[in-house]
Amino acid sequence: MKCVINRRAKFSASHRYWLPELSEAENADRFGPCMQFPGHGHNYTLYVSMLGDLDANGMVLNLSDVKHVIKHEVTGQLDFSYLNEVWEDFQQTLPTTENLARVIWNRLSPHLPVVDIKLIENENLWAEYQGNAMEAYLTVSTHFSAAHRLAHYDLTFEENSAIYGKCARINGHGHNYHVDVTVMGEIHPRTGMVVDLVALQNTIDSLIIEPMDHSFLNKDVPYFERVVPTAENIAAYMVKTLRGPIAELGAKLHKIKLYESPNNACEVYASFLQDATEVIREPELAVV
């Protein structure tokens, strides 16, 4: 029987985004505060996922051995280091989160049956790498607060209440939403980035956060005048809204994960929807 096991590890390190072939002004324009000397640091969390068969002892691998390999090959070398100088890999390609995940994969894959590396830089930014050449995933996490009412415009209050329960009440209710935007792309061989992070954040803020934060979705976002703003429909709307602009940045939107509450979340993958120019159709009850 096949099984995926996961091992967590942590390390603290600093890095600087700086390309010597660019002027100080060009570096500042491209990397913002991350270009400042001597750099800045993070408490990284690393998740190593490994695939294998269960042995007679009920294990895929001996976790003590896994711990030793990760420490010897990765965390023991990176902890309290300046990433730009610790490994030769970062002389050519900057130690961004996504490139660091790729290089860690390359360090571990000769020793462990790795299928995924997830590297968390902070609670709002992480990357995943799965061994596909220079392709990586980058996730930006953000939040907004909004109210909504779950009710189809063509149904009576009683009919909506039969479908949506308390969520159909006339005056609506609110949530502190959290949204993870995951993009995928090729790691640039010099900058180490799959996308300009500042441009990506600005796109998310201007197209999603600003219009939705502190709003009543049914009234303030035109799309939801006739589409019920369930978490699923909101996530699908975000996919449709962001997919084109993110493509213009040179990356590809992979998925949106929307947390309506600590107990409820949904994920919509960009591949679930059809081509980027299609308007999401309104089904009979407007539930995706």
What are the CA-CA distances from residue 231 to residues 175, 264, 266, 268 (Å)? Answer: 10, 9, 7, 10
Please pick, among 73, 98, 128, 260, the residue that the annotation labels catalytic: 260
Is 260 noted as a catalytic residue in this protein? yes
Burial 233-272 (b: 16+ CB within 10 A, else e): bbbbbbbbbbbebbeebebbbbbbbbbbeeeebbebebee
| Three-point CA angle 1, 267, 96, nearest 5° | 85
Which DSSP category does 206 fall into? I
Is 225 noted as a catalytic residue in this protein? no
Please pick, among 167, 178, 186, 282, the residue that the annotation labels catalytic: 167
Is 3 noted as a catalytic residue in this protein? no
Please pick, among 85, 159, 214, 267, the residue that the annotation labels catalytic: 214
Classify residue 124 by burial, with Cβ atoms within 10 Å: 0-12, 13-18, 19+.
Answer: middle
Q: What is the spatial distance between Cα 192 and Cα 138, in angstroms, rounded to a whole number?
A: 12
Active site residues: 167, 214, 260
